[in-house]
């Protein structure tokens, strides 16, 4: 009897001793993992996996690998655990989530929830998001296809909503950013559209092509030509451009070779105009007007025409562009006034006044004098 008690106590002491060693070793591995000392942690975990392949060890080891983005190794560790265990399955789901395999992660969480297993709140949120956003369309690509249909049908609001929902988990996704750019371009918000594309890193051929298309459509021609240059440097396969786009590229390379950009060209034109070198100024303005429609350019060219007493040309030119802005409409009034057509000038200025446009003191005085001498 005494011998039996001694043997039993010895076994208990050995068990307690081994348990204590395991706890200390496991804590050491965890601490190394949390402190980012992965090599030291991995060395200990490999030993533990040989001797103590418990659920806790398997999960901790797989997490340590996943934190280093060694996702396939992490999953391999989990799949080596032969017993059916929901904690192991939950960790598989978590690692699939971390690696961006949302469909597989959702599938495992669905099994866990249906079995009554409680998952963490942030993964519940993911599960609910997947059910609401992805499930109705079958897959991520299904949502993208739906977005394309909505854009084609003019429903940018629904398309934008779906893309915003996708971006909650597909962060910095190139395909989503391109589609968001298309939605905003359709709405005419070109700066926002380009902003989505600018945020994509690294940029590839597809991104530069989309940037060219949107900048060209927005008449951001300096940026469009830069995008064209990027396409030539980046794209391996030949990119097809429309005849109109090719004409623009040819014009830009021919005319802009003497200037850094639009700003430099118009500054030179303005300088020629101030120095009364009207022919030189007119040549630059006319070239720029082939593509650019900025207010500054339109007013600058019309001033050159007025200063050369080409009043009718200035009036015809401004009449075709007066809807662009009230400043251009005011410039039209100036051309009428300079040409001696005071009635047209008066009614042009009066319409601007009624629309709460801020007239100059000279324009206000013109209205006052016209009403005094012609209408009284």
The 10s digit of each residue's pLDDT in 94-122 is: 999 999 999 999 999 999 999 999 999 99
**Structure confidence at residue 280 as a pLDDT band (50, 70, 90):** very high
d(CA 260, CA 86): 64
Which are the contacts of 280, defined by CB distance < 8 A and separation ≥ 6? 269, 272
CA dist 180 and 159 (Å) reads 8
pLDDT score recorded for residue 181:
94
Closest C-alpha to 217, from 249, 247, 187, 185: 185
Do domains 141-199 and 262-375 share one topology? The answer is: yes
Half-sphere exposure of 362 (CA within 13 A, CB side): 7
User: Quick one: pLDDT at residue 20?
Assistant: 58
Cα–Cα distance between 326 and 323 in angstroms, integer? 7
E strand map for the chain: none
Confidence of residue 13 (pLDDT cuts 50, 70, 90): very low
The pLDDT of residue 5 is above 50? no
Q: What percent of the chain has pLDDT over 90?
A: 75
Task: Report, as an integer, the average pLDDT of 169-174.
Answer: 87
Tell me what pLDDT residue 45 has. Answer: 82
d(CA 68, CA 74): 10
pLDDT of residue 14: 39
Distance of CA 198 to the CA centre of its chain: 6
**pLDDT(27) > 90:** no
Q: Which CATH class is domain 2-137?
A: mainly alpha
Every domain of the chain and the residues it spans:
2-137, 141-199, 202-258, 262-375
Contact 316, 306 (CB under 8 A): no
Provide φ and ψ at 87, rounded to 5°.
-65, -40
CB 94 within 8 A of CB 86: no
**Between the ranges 83-87, 179-183, 228-232, where is the mean pLDDT highest?**
228-232
CA dihedral 210, 211, 215, 220 (to 10 degrees): -160
What pLDDT score does 269 carry?
96
Burial of residue 233 (CB within 10 Å: 0-12, 13-18, 19+) is exposed
The architecture that CATH gives domain 262-375 is: Alpha Horseshoe (1.25)
Q: Is the pLDDT of residue 226 over 80?
A: yes
Instruction: From 176, 156, 159, 178, select the one nearest 167 (Cα to Cα).
Output: 176
What does the pLDDT average to over 114-141? Answer: 95
DSSP 132: I
Q: Is the pLDDT of residue 9 over 50?
A: no
**Whether residue 6 has pLDDT greater than 50:** no
Per-residue pLDDT, averaged over 59-70, amounts to 91
**CA-CA distance, 274 to 80, in Å (whole number)?**
82
Q: Give the sign of the dihedral formed by CA 143, CA 149, CA 153, CA 156.
A: positive
pTM: 0.75
Q: Is the pLDDT of residue 11 over 70?
A: no
The CATH class that applies to domain 141-199 reads mainly alpha
Check residue 134 and give its pLDDT.
94
């Amino acid at each position: 009897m005494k011998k039996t008690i001694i043997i039993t106590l010895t076994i208990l002491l050995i068990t307690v001793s081994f348990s204590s060693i395991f706890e200390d070793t496991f804590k050491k591995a965890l601490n190394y993992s949390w402190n980012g000392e992965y090599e030291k942690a991995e060395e200990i975990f490999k030993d533990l996996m040989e001797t103590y392949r418990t659920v806790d060890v398997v999960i901790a080891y797989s997490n340590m690998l996943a934190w280093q983005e060694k996702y396939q190794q992490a999953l391999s560790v989990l799949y080596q655990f032969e017993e059916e265990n929901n904690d192991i399955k939950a960790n598989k789901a978590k690692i699939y989530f971390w690696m961006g395999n949302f469909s597989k992660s959702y599938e495992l969480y669905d099994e866990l929830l249906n079995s009554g297993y409680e998952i963490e709140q942030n993964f519940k949120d993911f599960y609910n998001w997947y059910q609401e956003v992805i499930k109705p369309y079958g897959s991520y690509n299904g949502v993208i296809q739906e977005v394309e249909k909505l854009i084609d049908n003019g429903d940018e609001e629904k398309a934008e909503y779906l893309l915003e929902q996708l971006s909650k988990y597909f962060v910095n996704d190139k395909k989503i950013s391109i589609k968001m750019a298309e939605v905003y371009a359709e709405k005419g918000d070109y700066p926002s559209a380009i902003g989505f594309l600018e945020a994509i890193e690294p940029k590839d051929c597809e991104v530069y092509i989309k940037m060219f298309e949107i900048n060209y459509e927005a008449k951001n021609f300096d940026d469009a030509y830069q995008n064209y240059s990027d396409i030539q440097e980046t794209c391996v396969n030949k990119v097809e451009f429309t005849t109109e786009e090719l004409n623009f590229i040819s014009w830009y390379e021919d005319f802009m070779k003497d200037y850094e950009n639009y700003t430099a060209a118009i500054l030179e034109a303005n300088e020629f105009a101030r120095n009364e070198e009207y022919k030189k100024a007119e040549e630059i303005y006319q070239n720029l007007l082939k593509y650019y429609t900025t207010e500054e350019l339109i007013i600058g060219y019309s001033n050159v025409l007025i200063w050369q007493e080409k009043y009718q040309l200035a009036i015809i030119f401004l009449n075709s562009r007066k809807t662009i802005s009230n400043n251009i409409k005011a410039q039209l009034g100036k051309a009428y006034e300079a040409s001696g057509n005071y009635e047209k000038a008066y009614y042009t200025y009066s319409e601007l006044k009624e629309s709460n446009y801020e007239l100059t003191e000279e324009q206000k005085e013109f209205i006052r004098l016209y009403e005094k001498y012609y209408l009284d």
